[in-house]
Amino acid sequence: MINSMLFSSVADVLYGAHTSDQLGDIAAKMGITRALIVTDPGIIKFKLLDGALKNLETNGVKVNVYSDVVADPPESVVMAAVSAAQTFGCDGVIGFGGGSSMDVAKLLAVLIKGEQQLSEMYGVDQVRGGRLPLIQVPTTAGTGSEATMVSIITTGATTKAGVVSRTLLADKIILDATLTLGLPPAVTAATGIDAMVHAIEAFTSVRLKNPLSDMLAREALRLMAGSIEVAVKQGSNLEARGAMLLGAMLAGQAFANAPVAAVHALAYPLGGNYHIPHGLSNALVLPHVLRFNGSEAGHHYAELAAIILPGKQLSKEPLEVTELLAQYFLELSADLGLPTTLREMAIAETDLPMLAREAMLQQRLLINNPRVLCEEDALAIYRQAF
Ligand SMILES: NC(=O)c1ccc[n+]([C@@H]2O[C@H](COP(=O)([O-])OP(=O)(O)OC[C@H]3O[C@@H](n4cnc5c(N)ncnc54)[C@H](O)[C@@H]3O)[C@@H](O)[C@H]2O)c1
Ligand SMILES: [Fe+2]
């Protein structure tokens, strides 16, 4: 049992097919009269916003749509969204899209108050003052950003920085799985594995593991392990899409309070240097980090393996169960059509020491890992993943 904990999350979660068509009812009840919607061109192209816009109009809520968010958004996108919001004069913000749109919406809701510069907000608990009412509507099932107090912004050619503050937790989340029916298979697979990693790393997080995050991580894995294959192979299956969307949000609530660790620390240099999508970067190193952590976290992995592989006869030996879980994720990636080695990503073997050096910069994450991991360990893991 733990001695103390602080658990924070978004107060209201609305889940159900077509719930995004109620966005106007919800915004109006919150007192929003002029809403700034933050989204990206793909969401507009696939007409995912149409039902929500109609309902906002029905409710007399004036709307301005900022739709120029790009993946891994840079500061310039955040500032352009703020500028659009200032010109329009909004009293509420809606993030509608993947993690990129939701992360920009979080910062916009604070920056529009004009009390602080973005450059002063990076790091933990640096945000001062309040924010505008904020609703998040995810259209991918992966980052869990709708439920976290983090916003990730690209600040350099290969670097990202995070703003971490409870102020960034939204007022409401709307989970409408019909929005995710058109997500392409490769994106569904990679973002789904990312969300599963959030749950696994939250469950083994060494400093802030807590009973609420544990509960959320277990249920997230039960939902996602049982649905990821169907969601990837039969994209229009609403039940599987719903389970993935709910599972990713639960995993977001878990890792917001019990942070992720070495899988993410080793994945970030892959994203930064080769622009490999975040979920795929995680999938590539996951089995090898599990094996590395087995000696310390094997008993936790055994508990999760029973959830991920229900009905399977499991060994009582923690290292054997860890190996089984590592194999499961290798086979899952292959089955879902994802690459499983760094070699396939056209990464040169001579780059591996550079990657290991860069992974060591992620101490913010490595301090949560169940086993101490140094540069030589990181290099050995990259070699195994090669
Ligand atoms: N704040 C957090 O807690 C947190 C956690 C992890 C990652 N992130 C950040 O989230 C971002 C990644 O987010 P993401 O993976 O959700 O992708 P994304 O928001 O970058 O979107 C990627 C692409 O998917 C398309 N897309 C989104 N929904 C779609 C749908 N339903 N159908 C068809 N296409 C769709 C978008 O148009 C876009 O082109 C990164 O910037 C990452 O750093 C944030
Ligand atoms: Fe992640």
- The percent of residues above 90 in pLDDT, for the chain, comes to 94
Q: How far is Cα 85 from Cα 286, in angstroms, rounded to an integer?
A: 40
pLDDT band at 161 (very low <50, low <70, confident <90, very high): confident
pLDDT of 82-102, one tens digit each? 999 999 999 999 999 999 999
Ligand 1 binding pocket (C-beta < 6 A) is 40, 42-43, 46, 48, 71-72, 97-101, 103, 139-140, 142-143, 145, 148, 150-152, 179-180, 182-183, 191, 278
What mean pLDDT do residues 72-78 have? 94
Q: What separation in Å is there between the alpha carbon of 71 and the centre of ligand 1? A: 6
Burial status of residue 60 (CB atoms within 10 A of its CB: 0-12, 13-18, 19 or more)? exposed
Q: In the prediction, which pLDDT does 158 show?
A: 72
Say which residues have a Cβ less than 8 Å from residue 100's Cβ, sequence separation at least 6: 40, 69, 70, 71, 72, 73
Question: Ligand 1, atom 18: nearest CA belongs to which residue?
Answer: 98
Which residue from 140, 160, 174 has its CB within 8 A of the most atoms of ligand 1, so it is best to mutate?
140
Q: In the prediction, which pLDDT does 160 show?
A: 82
Ligand at minimal distance from the CA of 148 is 1
What mean pLDDT do residues 115-133 have? 95
Q: What separation in Å is there between the alpha carbon of 268 and the centre of ligand 2? A: 9
Q: What separation in Å is there between the alpha carbon of 332 and the centre of ligand 1? A: 22
CATH of 12-180, one of 3.40.50.1970, 3.90.1200.10, 3.40.1130.10, 3.30.470.10: 3.40.50.1970
Computed over every residue of the chain, the mean pLDDT equals: 96
Q: Exposure string (b/e) for 202-228, b if CB count within 10 Å is 16 or more?
A: bbbbbebbbeebbebbbbbbbbbbbbb
Ligand at minimal distance from the CA of 365 is 2
Helices marked H in 226-351: 228-233, 238-257, 262-274, 278-308, 318-335
Which residue from 40, 127, 148, 281 has its CB within 8 A of the most atoms of ligand 1, so it is best to mutate?
40
pLDDT of 19-64, one tens digit each? 999 999 999 999 999 999 999 999 999 999 999 999 999 999 999 9
* Domain boundaries, given as residue ranges, for the chain: 12-180, 185-385
Residue 352's H or E segment, with its range, is helix 352-359
Question: Ligand 1, atom 4: nearest CA belongs to which residue?
Answer: 145
Q: In the prediction, which pLDDT does 171 show?
A: 98
pLDDT of 346-376, one tens digit each? 999 999 999 999 999 999 999 999 999 999 9
- The percent of residues above 70 in pLDDT, for the chain, comes to 100
Q: Say whether 185-385 and 12-180 share the same fold.
A: no
Q: What separation in Å is there between the alpha carbon of 61 and the centre of ligand 2? A: 34
CB 118 within 8 A of CB 75: yes
Question: Ligand 1, atom 17: nearest CA belongs to which residue?
Answer: 98
What mean pLDDT do residues 166-189 have? 97
What sign has the CA pseudo-torsion 69, 71, 74, 75?
A: positive
Give 35's strand partners. 63, 92
Question: Ligand 1, atom 28: nearest CA belongs to which residue?
Answer: 139
What mean pLDDT do residues 281-297 have? 98
In CATH, 185-385 is 3.20.20.30: no
pLDDT band at 272 (very low <50, low <70, confident <90, very high): confident
